[in-house]
Structure 1
Amino acid sequence: MLRLCALVLLGCVNNFIASPLHSDVPKTFLEHEVVPDVLSVAPAEYLTVKFPSGAEVNGGNVLTPTLVKDLPSLSWNANPDLFYTVVNTDPDAPSRAEPVWREFAHWLVGNVPGDDIASGDQLMQYFGAGPSLGSGLHRYVFLVYQQPAKLDFDEPRINLTAANRDYFSIANFAKKYNLGDPIAGNLYQAEYDDYVPILYEQLGI
């Protein structure tokens, strides 16, 4: 019986250590230079991001455009009585070496009640990673901000198009709407694969 209890305890400890929920988000954001390229302050909380393909974002892991093409599900320690803003942004457009279009926004939703993103105000429709051929790995950063209240966003609504997404700055957006620093975040990396031309056709590029 004692041995069984020890094995159960060891399993719990291993799960705790291995779980991405206990990753050091500020350290990860510094290692991947999201701070200072995107943010001045990293979020403290791990944001769980899962795609219908089964892929999961985990602190800068490398995924493919094929794996991240569909709308992901997100979860964080959300208060159902509060509103949040969710963003997915690429600071490496057209490449990390020459990010002259920084940032390129891939998804932006405001007034999210709790973590019910489907009930939020979609400012930019989601589309996944689409790095051009030869541009190397891009960082794709997911962030959650806690809003001070429900907000009246005066941004243009952008559907499935690449237009008006470049030169985005989540830092400036957060300042404009008094969002403060992000409370949760995560990121993955991706480079070109055979899905990218399909995505470009959908976007009219």
Structure 2
Amino acid sequence: MDSNGIIPDVVDFVPEKIATVTYPSGVIVEPGKELTPTQVKDIPNITWDAESDGIYAVLMVDPDGPSRENPIYREFLHWSICNIPGNDLSKGQTLFEYIGAGPSNGTGLHRYIFWVFKQPAAYPTDQFVSKTTIEGRANIKTRDYVTKFNLGNPVAGNYFLAQYDEYVDTLQASLKTTEIK
């Protein structure tokens, strides 16, 4: 994560463990490996060394919107789940539905980062943002989540790189467009 500038762009500490991220396409995320938006379009499964009685939160962010050279929308939140018992994502609470990688044509490689945090307690919330909207996703800061929910350092993480492919046009057409501020 240091070699791709994730530390200190997004958080200040490298997670101690690697989260295993597996996509339905058969792709397994390896730190820093380039994948295509087509390969990562569907919700992945994530596992990590979880305590059986622990409660966790997962975030997936892209700090490179609209490009790594001009990240004025840093960070874009692609996915957020909280109140995950152990590492059973199906029992967690989805706050922001999964949106796959969608870097616009000509913006180069983007970093897509998965963070796993141990929560000090379950959080009551009724927030839910559909995968069909970008509202509330731009200019999110992982550091703000850490502070707001007292999450501490990530316990696991992983990331891949992606750049435009033809699937991005399909993805962007499926999103309700509102101006990103």
Specify the TM-score bucket, using the shorter chain as the normaliser: over 0.9
Shift of 1:73: 0.6
Q: Quote how far apart the aligned CAs of 1:118 are.
A: 1.3
* Residue 204 of structure 1, aligned match among 172, 176, 179: 176
Q: What is the aligned-residue RMSD (CA, Å)?
A: 1.0
Which of residues 34, 45, 49 is equivalent to 2:21?
49
* 1:204 Cα deviation after fit: 2.9
- Per the TM alignment, residue 153 of structure 1 is displaced from its structure 2 partner at its CA by 3.8
- 1:17 aligned partner: none
How far residue 75 of structure 1 moved from its aligned partner, in angstroms, is 0.8
Q: Distance in 2 between matches of 1:151 and 1:171?
A: 18
2:128 corresponds to which of 147, 157, 171 = 157
- Distance in 2 between the 1:152 and 1:124 partners? 15
Taking CA–CA contacts closer than 8 Å with sequence separation of 6 or more, which of the two structures ends up with the larger relative contact order? 2
Q: For residue 7 of structure 1, what is the aligned residue in structure 2?
A: none
Query: Which whole-Å CA distance do the structure 1 matches of 2:130 and 2:36 have between them?
Result: 23
* Larger Rg belongs to: 1
Count of residue correspondences: 176
Q: Looking at secondary structure, tell me which structure has more helix per residue.
A: 1
CA deviation map 1:40-87 (0-9, x unaligned):
111010110010001111011000000000000111111121100001
The residue number in structure 1 matching 2:44 is 72
After TM superposition, the structure 1 = structure 2 runs for residues 15-164 of structure 1, keeping only pairs within 5 Å, are 29-153=1-125, 156-160=127-131, 161-164=133-136
Name structure 2 gaps, 5 residues minimum: none
TM-score, with structure 2 as normaliser: 0.95
In 1: Cα distance, 2:107 partner to 2:136 partner: 21
Q: After TM superposition, give the deviation of residue 150 of structure 1 in Å.
A: 1.2
The 3-state SS of whatever aligns with 2:143 is helix
Structure 1 runs, 4 residues or longer, greater than 3 Å off = none
Q: Structure 1 length normalisation: TM-score?
A: 0.84
The whole-number CA distance in structure 2 between the counterparts of 1:139 and 1:112 is: 24
Q: CA deviation at 1:170?
A: 1.1
* Distance across 2 between alignment mates of 1:43 and 1:135: 28
Aligned-partner residue type, residue 93 of structure 1: G
Identify the match of residue 173 of structure 1 among 145, 150, 157: 145
Separation in structure 2 between the aligned mates of residue 163 and residue 131 of structure 1, nearest angstrom: 17
Q: State, as a whole percentage, how many aligned pairs show the same letter.
A: 44
CA distance in 1, matches of 2:111, 2:6: 8
Residue deviations 1:120-170 (CA, integer Å, cap 9, x gap) = 11110001000000000000000100011112247x321111121000011
